[in-house]
Structure 1
Amino acid sequence: MLFLLTITILLCSSLRGVIAGIPDKIYGVNLGSWLVLEAWMLPQEWLDMGGEQCSDCSQCIATEFAFAQAYPDTVDEVFNKHWSTWFTQGDVNKLVDAGINTVRIPLGYWIVEALVDRETEFYPRGGIRQLQRGLKQLQAAGIHAILDHHALPGVQTAGQMFTGRCTSDVEFYTDANYQRALVWTAVMATLAHLDPSFGSVFSIEAVNEPIMDANQTPGYGDFQKNFVKVVRAVELVLGIPVPGVELSSRLASSNFTSALTTAIATNSNGFFNAEVKSALKAAVPILIEIGNELSIPTIFDFNMAAVRNQRGSLVTNFMDVNWQHNNPSNPADAAIGPQGYDNHLYYSFGGVADANPDAYLKSICNTNRVQADAALGNTPLWFGEWALSTQFNASDEFLVKWADAQKLAYSQSRGWIFWNFKVEISKLAGDLARQWSYFEAVERGYFTKDPSKFNDPHVCDAYKNTSTTNKAITKQDR
């Protein structure tokens, strides 16, 4: 079974804005603290699990890494209980009732367990089965999903719970860890197409919140291009058309891992470069193991026509070019087929607007982020993280306006995904849910029950055309 690729990489700009199989407008929430746990969002449960709280998250049991290192014999059982109870069918029902049509699911690289170096890295096992369970429930409810690579091998940002390990030792931006992330990508792209439970997945996000200073992320532009090529290589083997890339002959095998192995062995060119081939090769035994573990027969016997007709290409997804400074690589340069862009905006950590209601509304009502990204080819854009949090004591009246104003701003783009679907309700959590939980904000009337509607669609009228500065502010530990 031999076949050759005739490669001409033609980036069709008209395809960059095409996203098939999802709503025209995204109204979404993050499923944060489910499969990547952030202890600040569930402080009482974390203590009950055996975790700790401290002012410097690197100095106590504040992350999954530290927990697994401290409790190697019980970590899997404890986390399986958390996964089973933090996101449930009841939560899916609430999402449907709230009109949510999309979820962004933060994932750690360790969900693909074979990628973890068990001698030096410590994480719970079993998350992939919980992901499959949750996606099946979401699909049954008609809710679309983005698989967000939220916590990267080697850690992509220092001192953050959301990376799974709170450390100043940032090593993601190395050849070895770029490669592990590409293997993760190959596995997730395959599951998205071949596991029926993943049928609602329309996009895979490459890296959540990389370091903002591009001088500190060497090789990131090449990684972006290889990320896209890995996704598209998987799709080529599945018979899904890829712009500018053609197979010169049909595949003879319906066993995906066999077909992928043949593609690796018989192609050596600018598309199947060394990094892409290495990642695909490493993914083969992992896919065989996962296929058996999760009972996914289509990995071993897939129908090319059925796969092609079931869905088109996945949407490759990156943080937008304006997330970084100091001459960053433009992810638009990596696009082959449909691609989307993500921006995050939080006002509660400073640097965006003065800490008062008028300044906040002037800023958000005049934000030009959608236009600035579009000018650099980063479209369609969605706002994948934002919240109602503030640096001042916000009244209920203001939070109604703040919710409307942000929704208006983010609806200029493809849509928005709120952080988070819920947070813990407990004495220890205090009033946290008021500004960080979508469910709570709907209950309190800050958000309309129909996410496409507004309490006051004219909330920005009095604040338009005011000079403001809008900077990207990362989500920090709370």
Structure 2
Amino acid sequence: MYYLFYVSLFFLLSISVQAGLPDKIYGVNLGSWLLLESWMLPEEWTRMGGELCDDCTQCISAELYKLFSFVVSTSVGLTYHSASEFARAYPDTVDEIFNTHWSSWFNQNDARDLAEAGINTVRIPLGYWIIEALVDRQTEFYPRGGIHQLKRGLKQLKDAGIVSILDHHGLPGVQSANHTFTGRCTPEVEFFTEYNYHRALIWTAVMTTLSHLDPDFSNVFAIEAVNEPTRDATQTPGYGDFQKNFVQVVRAVELTLGIDVPWSVSNMTITETANFTATLEDAASSLPALNSEVRSALLDAVPILVELGLELVLDDMTHSFSSHYSREPLYTSFMDMNWQYNNPSNPRDAQIGPQFYDDHLYYQSGSADEQAHMDSICSKLHNWKIHGYLFNHGVDLPFLEDDATFGNSPVVFGEWSLITQFTPTDDFLYKWADAQKLAFTKGAGWIFWNFKVEISTQAGDLARQWSYLEGVKRGYFTRDPSKLNDTHVCDSYIQ
């Protein structure tokens, strides 16, 4: 069976262009597309059959929910009172509901609008369940078919000239408590276990392979290991080892493909008639630098890759491949070391080849007036050093750290918004957008959260501070993201 899955790199190189890290990232997140967060589209979510509540553990506010009532009306007037009951009774209906959402929330028109707004990068939040073989269908219930929508969306982005980061946003077992962004709002955090680390590594091997071998994935230039893990490092045992294993899985797949990786582990010889999955099995068994966990993850990825090759109808992957492969290795990416506290591991220690670091900043507490907000963001412009940015990782945190001290460079601000602790005027939001862009472009660039949110009566004025495309329409964001409305926006705030 494994020998059915081959790769024609000559073919792939003839039709695709290698994606790479832009000189400066001007990006947006495609949030609530393949990993839905109900607060961003309340009207659609309730229409789909979900619920809204202040405590997301007490209602159906995420894609997986196992204990509390989930009321969904069907065409024959029946209701089902749990996600698991509904999914098991009507799996085709569940998949159809989400497929409709996936098709409408991000499509060709959105890709066009982003390109016209000058966006060059998107970060795509994904759940582990997009690789359906990783889901334990006895206890975990997610909609199916997302991989086809990802493939469709990546092609549309590629055609629009936009490169992509695959962000592992919802990890198996959940990496952070009580957040809908994990795909399951629960106080039980179980990602940091051997079983779920292993599933995440298999996911990584599959996504790395698709990023190099599927032409529709050719605009992918990076994979992010874990979005926003639990911040207290004492609660994330084994996370440092996982970081190293994550990078080794990516690089082992690339070595198998004959990609030049700066990792002296073996003088692998790949023949013109080599079969990819067979070669991956050989690499997993023979590369001396791989530990048992990395070997096991690579081997467990092989049958999944075989099935995906058939499912995605990758007919052009039926030939031998050449070891003279000119693609560049993917960037690996992690939240920076300062995301965690209590003696966290340093992701720099995991680095093999190109890597960048992610940080997120939302003004959700602390200063509550215009002057304080502008003083805070503009004062940070003085704290940029040669290779890093000195920045408070959330206004509520009591410390400033320099990522460059820990080798965490380059830094991309992968999530930020126009949120404030007061109701801002339009005049202030012009300044607020400019000041944050000015600060974040001192690093490798920025990725706004989100590309859009729902505009509806139920959503109220949410789009004003959370939608990039709405911000462009209102003039808060310049149509050329490298420009500012006022290049001197911080002059009066810097002492």
Q: After TM superposition, is the score higher than 0.5? A: yes
Cα distance in structure 2, aligned partners of 1:169 and 1:31? 26
Question: For this pair of structures, how many residues does the alignment match?
Answer: 440
2:3 aligned partner: none
2:305 aligned partner: 287
**Aligned-pair CA distance for 1:70:** 5.1
In structure 1, give the amino acid aligned to 2:302.
Answer: V
Counterparts of residues 64-463 of structure 1 (less than 5 Å): 64-66=63-65, 68-69=83-84, 71-72=86-87, 73=90, 74-252=93-271, 253-267=273-287, 269=288, 271-297=289-315, 300-301=318-319, 303-305=321-323, 308-309=325-326, 311-347=327-363, 349-350=364-365, 353-367=366-380, 368=383, 370-371=389-390, 372-463=402-493
**Aligned-pair CA distance for 1:438:** 0.3
**Aligned-pair CA distance for 1:303:** 2.5
Cα distance in structure 1, aligned partners of 2:320 and 2:136? 31
Cα distance in structure 2, aligned partners of 1:24 and 1:280? 32
Cα distance in structure 2, aligned partners of 1:451 and 1:95? 11
Query: 1:156, 1:163 within 8 Å by CA — same for their partners in 2?
Result: yes
Match of 2:210, SS? helix
Matching of residue 39 in structure 1 with residue 38 in structure 2: yes
Matching of residue 57 in structure 1 with residue 75 in structure 2: no
In structure 1, give the amino acid aligned to 2:280.
Answer: L
Query: 1:257, 1:300 within 8 Å by CA — same for their partners in 2?
Result: no
Match of 1:71, SS? helix
Match of 1:233, SS? helix
Determine what percentage of the aligned residue pairs are the same residue: 64
Cα distance in structure 1, aligned partners of 2:256 and 2:375? 50
**Aligned-pair CA distance for 1:69:** 2.4
Give the structure-2-normalised TM-score: 0.87
Give the structure-1-normalised TM-score: 0.90
Cα distance in structure 2, aligned partners of 1:279 and 1:200? 25
Distance 1:246 1:169, change over 3 A: closer
In structure 2, give the amino acid aligned to 1:44.
Answer: E
> Structure 2: any 5+ residue segments left out of the alignment?
1-17, 71-82, 391-401
Cα distance in structure 2, aligned partners of 1:148 and 1:299? 25
Q: Which string of whole-angstrom CA distances, capped at 9 and with x for unpartnered residues, describes residues 289-347 of structure 1?
A: 001000124655352357x22x2000000000111111110101110000000000000
In structure 2, give the amino acid aligned to 1:257.
Answer: T
**Aligned-pair CA distance for 1:83:** 0.3
Cα distance in structure 1, aligned partners of 2:22 and 2:277? 32
Cα distance in structure 2, aligned partners of 1:434 and 1:108? 27
In structure 1, give the amino acid aligned to 2:31.
Answer: G
Q: More deviation in 257-266 or 103-112?
A: 257-266
Query: 2:284, 2:295 within 8 Å by CA — same for their partners in 1?
Result: yes
Match of 2:389, SS? helix
Query: 1:288, 1:299 within 8 Å by CA — same for their partners in 2?
Result: no
Query: 1:257, 1:299 within 8 Å by CA — same for their partners in 2?
Result: no
**Aligned-pair CA distance for 1:111:** 0.2
Distance 1:387 1:303, change over 3 A: same
Cα distance in structure 2, aligned partners of 1:399 and 1:393? 10
In structure 2, give the amino acid aligned to 1:295.
Answer: V
2:9 aligned partner: none
Q: Which string of whole-angstrom CA distances, capped at 9 and with x for unpartnered residues, describes residues 349-403 of structure 1?
A: 21xx411111111111122471411221111110000000111011101000000
2:398 aligned partner: none
Query: 2:361, 2:416 within 8 Å by CA — same for their partners in 1?
Result: yes
Match of 2:153, SS? helix
Q: More deviation in 412-421 or 359-368?
A: 359-368
In structure 1, give the amino acid aligned to 2:304.
Answer: I
Cα distance in structure 2, aligned partners of 1:312 and 1:443? 37
Match of 1:64, SS? coil
Cα distance in structure 2, aligned partners of 1:391 and 1:282? 47
In structure 2, give the amino acid aligned to 1:409.
Answer: A
**Aligned-pair CA distance for 1:29:** 0.2
Distance 1:266 1:81, change over 3 A: same
Cα distance in structure 1, aligned partners of 2:371 and 2:319? 60
Cα distance in structure 1, aligned partners of 2:176 and 2:267? 42
2:14 aligned partner: none
In structure 2, give the amino acid aligned to 1:338.
Answer: P
Q: More deviation in 391-400 or 251-260?
A: 251-260
Cα distance in structure 2, aligned partners of 1:314 and 1:383? 19
RMSD: 1.5
**Aligned-pair CA distance for 1:246:** 5.0
Query: 1:112, 1:128 within 8 Å by CA — same for their partners in 2?
Result: yes
In structure 2, give the amino acid aligned to 1:321.
Answer: M
**Aligned-pair CA distance for 1:54:** 1.3
